[in-house]
Structure 1
């Protein structure tokens, strides 16, 4: 399956190819400067994602350069507590990907800082949604980093931050746009990722391909 969509004549959202891996590595490094090096993906990781699950890897291109990317794999719902590295097979996805899984786990997305605010992440979410429909995948799932915590970490715990964020007492640079894009809150994942600015936490969220899909109550616990 090949996805290719031109946006306003300037940007192209398309399926990633092996030649994109080097540039995807660059985007990763620019997007996540505070992420621990053990959790940063390099060109070998991206190349393997494209090999294992080619339909699930996307990039945004402008003037022949990749300026954004999104990485996914198929799976069943992760019912047990897990970390970022647990979820994606230590960044490789080889053993995490299940070819007949009902869920698309979006474990990475980034747009170069100079191109943020243009709705490009939202377009990649839409592209993934279309891929889900085509492949018969029922739901997208993500773990969004609570990146706004860094600015208030001296004022509250990460647990309080997540509680207040769920109540919409304030916004988060990552979580709020993801929810505006259609993702629905499931629960916080503490000690999910090694990133001090996010309090090492993320929010598990889902986006049903079928609007009538109802998540089982047990998944919220």
Structure 2
């Protein structure tokens, strides 16, 4: 596709990632999640190997002018509405050994785009591609736990649930949650103790997209 931010235009390709992409994918993680985000939570090659062997349909990257600019990873699970979980529990700490080939939920393990490429809308296109994957596979929904990196600025006066409600109503802006809402995702709850993330204080917004073609 052709992507543009109004001042620059580039060709972008969304495809499955493979073993030869591993080093670049780890570089994308390092650029996308700088300190205070813990570096031990960046991808390692064993996790990436699990993604491309256990569920290659859920291992996507976007390439711009020959450079991997972002990636998105998912697995299939069957999760009841309202189920509480952590990222580690939902994704087997990123190794996806708990992938269920017939799971009704396409669960997002990770989404990241290099900062220099974020104005091109690549994250939104990756999410759109994963929506299409959910439709193609016949999943009932796409679900993820979205970081709330703006929450620590308001934690002295708002609970995580109140913060999410303020962001959803547009009275506050969160870099991740507001973006996911713009991509068509709906907040369906809070997962506490989701990830070791100082900015979100361990909380995540559970964000859902329902497959309109699911029968």
TM over 0.5: same fold?
yes
1:216 paired residue number = none
Structure 2 residue aligned with 1:199, among 198, 201, 212? 201
Show structure 1 runs of 5+ residues with no match: 1-5, 214-221
Moved over 3 A (4+): 150-160
Deviation at 1:212, TM superposition (A): 7.8
Deviation at 1:122, TM superposition (A): 0.7
Deviation at 1:63, TM superposition (A): 2.0
Q: 1:18 to 1:173 in 2, by over 3 A?
A: same
> Per-residue CA shift, 1:74-109, capped at 9, x if unaligned?
0112553211111110210012x1001111001200
Confirm whether residue 82 of structure 1 aligns to residue 82 of structure 2.
no
- Mapped to 2, the partners of 1:31 and 1:108 lie a distance apart of 11
Q: 1:170 to 1:212 in 2, by over 3 A?
A: farther
- Mapped to 1, the partners of 2:138 and 2:161 lie a distance apart of 36
Contact 2:160 2:190 in 1 (8 A): no
- Mapped to 2, the partners of 1:54 and 1:104 lie a distance apart of 13
1:29 paired residue number = 30
2:20 paired residue number = 19
- Mapped to 1, the partners of 2:26 and 2:140 lie a distance apart of 29
Question: Alignment RMSD, CA only?
Answer: 2.0
Q: 1:101 to 1:111 in 2, by over 3 A?
A: same
Q: So what's the TM-score if we normalise by structure 2?
A: 0.87
Structure 2 residue aligned with 1:42, among 41, 44, 50? 44
Q: So what's the TM-score if we normalise by structure 1?
A: 0.85
Contact 1:187 1:203 in 2 (8 A): yes
- Mapped to 2, the partners of 1:194 and 1:210 lie a distance apart of 34
